[in-house]
Structure 1
Amino acid sequence: MPGRQNDPTNPTDLTPTRKTLISTEIDYEREGFQTGVLRIPYSHDRSAYGHIPAPVAVLKQGAGPTVLLTGGNHGDEYEGPLALMKLLQRMPTMQIQGRLIVIPALNFPAFLNGSRTSPIDRGNLNRMFPGDRNGSVTAMIAHYVDSELFPRADVVLDLHAGGASFNHMPTLLAALPSDPARRAEYLKLVDAFAAPHTMIMDLLGEDRTYGAAAERHGTLFLCGEFGGFGSCNVEGLAIVEQGLRRVLHATGLTRGDSPPPPRHDTRFIAVEGTRHYLFAPRHGVFEPCFTLGQQVAAGELAGRLFDPHAPWERPRELHFGAAGMVVCARSFAGVAPGDCIALLASPATL
Structure 2
Amino acid sequence: MTSQGSLIASTVDFSREGFQKGALMLPHSHDRSAYGRIPIPVVVLKRGGGPTVLLTGGNHGDELEGPIALMKLIQRMSTLEINGRLIVVPGLNFPAFQNGTRTSPIDKGNLNRLFPGNRSGSITEMIAHYVNTELFPISDVILDMHAGGVSFQHAPALLASLPANTAQHDDYLRLVEAFGAPTTMVMNLLGEDRTYGAAAERQGKLFLCGEFGGGASCSPDNLKIVEDGLHRVLHSLGLINEAPATPAKPTRLVKVEDSGHYLFATASGVFEPCFSLGDRVEKGQLAGRLFDIEAPWKPAEELYFGRAGEVMVQRTFSHVAAGDCIAVLASQTTWH
Give the TM-score taking structure 2 as reference length. 0.98
Instruction: Work out whether 1:159 is the aligned partner of 2:114.
Output: no
| Aligned mate of 1:309, from 264, 271, 294 | 294
| Aligned mate of 2:128, from 142, 166, 176 | 142
Instruction: Work out whether 1:55 is the aligned partner of 2:18.
Output: no
Task: Evaluate the alpha carbon distance shift between residue 299 and residue 262 of structure 1 in structure 2; reply closer, same or farther with a 3 A threshold.
Answer: farther
Distance across 2 between alignment mates of 1:234 and 1:299:
35
1:214 Cα deviation from its structure 2 partner: 0.1
Aligned residue for 1:157, secondary structure, equals strand
Q: Deviations over 1:161-212 (max 9, x none)?
A: 0000000000000011244431110000000000010001100000000000
1:257 Cα deviation from its structure 2 partner: 1.1
| Aligned mate of 2:89, from 92, 99, 103 | 103
Counterparts of residues 113-132 of structure 1 (less than 5 Å): 113-132=99-118
Distance across 1 between alignment mates of 2:253 and 2:76:
32
Aligned residue for 1:93, secondary structure, equals coil
- Residue of structure 2 in register with 1:346 after alignment: 331
**Is contact 2:267–2:320 with CA below 8 Å preserved after alignment?**
yes
Counterparts of residues 169-248 of structure 1 (less than 5 Å): 169-248=155-234
- Residue of structure 1 in register with 2:61 after alignment: 75
1:241 Cα deviation from its structure 2 partner: 0.2
- Residue of structure 2 in register with 1:257 after alignment: 242
- Residue of structure 2 in register with 1:91 after alignment: 77
Instruction: Work out whether 1:300 is the aligned partner of 2:285.
Output: yes
What fraction of aligned residue pairs are identical, expressed as a percent?
A: 64
**Is contact 2:59–2:92 with CA below 8 Å preserved after alignment?**
yes
The amino acid that maps onto 1:29 is S
| Aligned mate of 1:323, from 289, 308, 317 | 308
Distance across 1 between alignment mates of 2:220 and 2:327:
22
Q: Deviations over 1:84-122 (max 9, x none)?
A: 000001100000000000000000000000100000000
Give the TM-score taking structure 1 as reference length. 0.94
Q: Which has the larger radius of gyration?
A: 1
- Residue of structure 1 in register with 2:273 after alignment: 288
The amino acid that maps onto 1:292 is L
The amino acid that maps onto 1:324 is G
The amino acid that maps onto 2:325 is C
Distance across 1 between alignment mates of 2:177 and 2:101:
32
Distance across 2 between alignment mates of 1:189 and 1:260:
17
Distance across 1 between alignment mates of 2:124 and 2:277:
32
- Residue of structure 1 in register with 2:21 after alignment: 35
Q: Deviations over 1:263-300 (max 9, x none)?
A: 53100000011000000000010000000000000000
Aligned residue for 2:213, secondary structure, equals coil
